Structure 1
Amino acid sequence: MSYALITGAAKGIGKAIAAELAQRNYHLLLIDLDEKTLHDTATQLAAAYHVNVHTLYQDLSHPEALQRVTGWSRPWHQELTVVVNNAGYGLNGAFEELSLEEQFNIIDVNIKAQVGLSYAYIPVLRQFPKAYLLNLASTTAYQTVPYLNIYAATKAFALSFTRGLRHELRHSPVSVSALSPGSTDTDFVNRARMGDSTRKIADRFNMTAESVARIAVDGLFKGKAEIIPGFTNKLNAWLPKFFPKTFVEKIAANIYVPKEKAAVVTLTTG
């Protein structure tokens, strides 16, 4: 059997993608920052699907993360046919009020790690008759999102980068896809420090991580360029093209503005 490498695999979409691939008889190389949850996930998946599961506890924002990940995975490079760059996160808040260090960290994980791992593993994937690279974008990639600004900007980069890479590799054995999920029932809202009002809006449209993963893996193996799970998410990615950007930005700002700033935003944009 072949191996699949997944970052951000301890929980949420990453864990669900790992489970979906295990169901399809892939052994797993799982990487995450949450060591205990990663260990628990590995134990669950190995028992449920009878596959080999190897784990690496690693913060992908660390300067030496790329070297550590590729060194760790090297024993399985002769069987590694799927790489999933799933790790990523965002923070909800005004740009000038979030620390610069935190925002640089988002860029390190969402952009630098994705680019570095793609660069490192493309030569590995090229050795097979068919191999797959999946990069995580988001429906936020299709518009500007005030108060989730850096996250949305990194996802716009991820989508553009992945499509460009796909074109460059179109005559190679490596199929490159971007996954753009919308609101999903994961821990993202907690790590992003979203307020109750934003959470309630997200809850109305949440997809399960398992349904997102199923659509993602199906789309990956079908060679799709962009995978947007769910009709509502497809609509949200498509509709902003037909409205003035300021209108779209105002709607997004009203969703993501922190509660304490809501009155100010209403006064200045209403």
Structure 2
Amino acid sequence: MDSILGGYNMNTYALITGASKGIGRALALQLAKKGYPVLLVARSKDELQALATEIITTYQVQARWLAIDLSDTQAPEQVLKWCTDNSYQVSVLVNNAGYGLWGSFEKVDIDGQLNMITLNINALVKLTHRFIPLLKQQSQAYILNVGSTAAYQAVPTLAVYSATKAFVLSFTRALRYELRDSVISVSCLSPGPTDTGFAHRAGLDAMADLAAKFNMQPEEVAIIGLKGMFRKKAEIVPGFLNKISVIGARHLPKALIEKIGGDLYKSK
């Protein structure tokens, strides 16, 4: 499961979950570009190995990977054991792994929805809890939880997904306050539509053309996200239109926001 690549011995690593594609991949590349050796965690062995090779070749930093399904309840402990057994000192934890499912709640497979909750919430919480003691060993450390603009309102037909991201945002802000006097800075990155394949996995293929008009690129989201993280911002919303949507969700009547969302993401 593990591949040790590269020849540089730097002091601390950045660990990124969901690193094989999309925003997670872009975050890993940007962190490597900044000189961080990276720990890449996701399900796909082939994609992780290819990314590790690309990082080593392009940025001349260590890149090590662990292929594991974080929706497995024991996975966070296995990730921690992988780090402690190999003496990987972690100063950046990026909780990016997650996915969405679209459709009427009563019609979408319940096992898929529960698995989504396990990955989007349980794995993130458990990994964070397990890694805080390691992060506190550093002179400065960061946690970046990847949420979504869906965190700021209820979204009909993305009901469970938006609820998981609302949890991520609320959890991040509370944890940030609890750790305010520690060496750990906690931030939440909430992207809007991004060209990651999210819509396809969620079952939103019918909206692909519409989404493409508003999509940001993963690299742009990653650059903005890391800039905000290193500046110790609490909430990072990349993109002007996404910022406007968040402001609207905070100030417009909830019923209106839910109707807009319901009309936009019509149920199957």
TM-score, structure 2 as length reference: 0.93
- Whether 2:16 is the aligned partner of 1:6: answer yes
- Whether the 8 Å contact between 1:146 and 1:249 is mirrored in structure 2 is yes
Where does residue 268 of structure 1 map in the other structure?
none
Which of 200, 215, 218 is equivalent to 1:209? 218
1:78-157 equivalence runs, <5 A: 79-157=89-167
Deviations 1:214-248 (A, max 9, x none): 01111111100001111111111111222221111
Q: What letter matches 2:187 in structure 1? A: S
Structure 1 unaligned residues grouped into runs of 5+: 262-270
Q: CA–CA distance in 2 between the matches of 1:79 and 1:188?
A: 31
CA distances 1:164-189 after superposition (whole Å, capped 9, x unpaired): 00000000000000000000011111
Map 1:4-83 → 2, pairs under 5 A: 4-75=14-85, 77=87, 79-83=89-93
Q: Secondary structure at the match of 1:5?
A: strand
Task: State yes or no: 1:253 paired with 2:262.
Answer: yes
2: CA distance between counterparts of 1:201 and 1:193?
Answer: 14
**What value does the CA root-mean-square deviation take over the aligned residues?**
1.1
CA distance in structure 1 between the aligned counterparts of 2:145 and 2:125, rounded to whole angstroms: 9
- CA distance in structure 2 between the aligned counterparts of 1:38 and 1:94, rounded to whole angstroms: 34
Q: What is the CA–CA distance in structure 2 between the aligned matches of 1:156 and 1:200, rounded to whole Å?
A: 26
Per-residue Cα deviation, 1:68-93 (whole angstroms, up to 9, x for no partner): 11111114555211000000100111
Q: Secondary structure at the match of 1:135?
A: strand
Contact 1:11 1:41 in 2 (8 A): no
Q: Please, what TM-score do these two structures have when normalized by structure 1?
A: 0.93
Residues 184-209 of structure 1 show CA distances to partners (whole Å, capped at 9, x for unaligned) of 0111111111132x222211111100
Measured in 2, the distance between the counterparts of 1:135 and 1:77 equals 24
CA distance in 1, matches of 2:266, 2:87: 45
Report how many residues are paired.
258
Contact 2:13 2:88 in 1 (8 A): no
Determine which of 205, 208, 212 is the counterpart of 1:199: 208
**Structure 1 contact 77–124 (Cα < 8 Å) conserved:** no
Residue by residue, what CA displacement relative to the aligned partner does 1:40-68 show, whole Å, maximum 9, x if unpaired? Answer: 11111121111111111111111211121
Which residue identity lines up with residue 202 of structure 1 in the other structure? Answer: A
CA contact (8 A) 2:105 2:159 kept: yes
Amino acid at match of 1:214: I
Q: Which residue of 1 is the match for residue 250 of structure 2?
A: 241
Which whole-Å CA distance do the structure 1 matches of 2:88 and 2:200 have between them?
38
Q: Deviations over 1:114-161 (max 9, x none)?
A: 000110111101111110000011100000100111110000000000
2:52 and 2:64 in contact (8 A); partners too: yes
Q: Tell me, yes or no, if the aligned pair for 2:92 and 2:141 is still in contact at 8 Å.
A: yes
User: Where does structure 1 differ by over 3 angstroms across 4 or more consecutive aligned residues?
Assistant: 75-78
Q: Distance in 1 between matches of 2:71 and 2:40?
A: 16
| Partner residue, 2:7 | none
Secondary structure, aligned partner of 1:251: helix
State the shift of 1:12 in Å: 0.5
- In 1, the alpha carbon distance for the partners of 2:63 and 2:28 equals 10
Task: Indicate the structure with greater helix content.
Answer: 1
Q: 1:179 aligns with which of 173, 185, 189?
A: 189
Pick closer, same or farther for the CA change 1:61–1:139 going to 2, 3 Å: same
Evaluate the alpha carbon distance shift between residue 187 and residue 224 of structure 1 in structure 2; reply closer, same or farther with a 3 A threshold: same
3-state DSSP of counterpart to 1:184: coil
Give the letter for the 1:39 counterpart.
Q
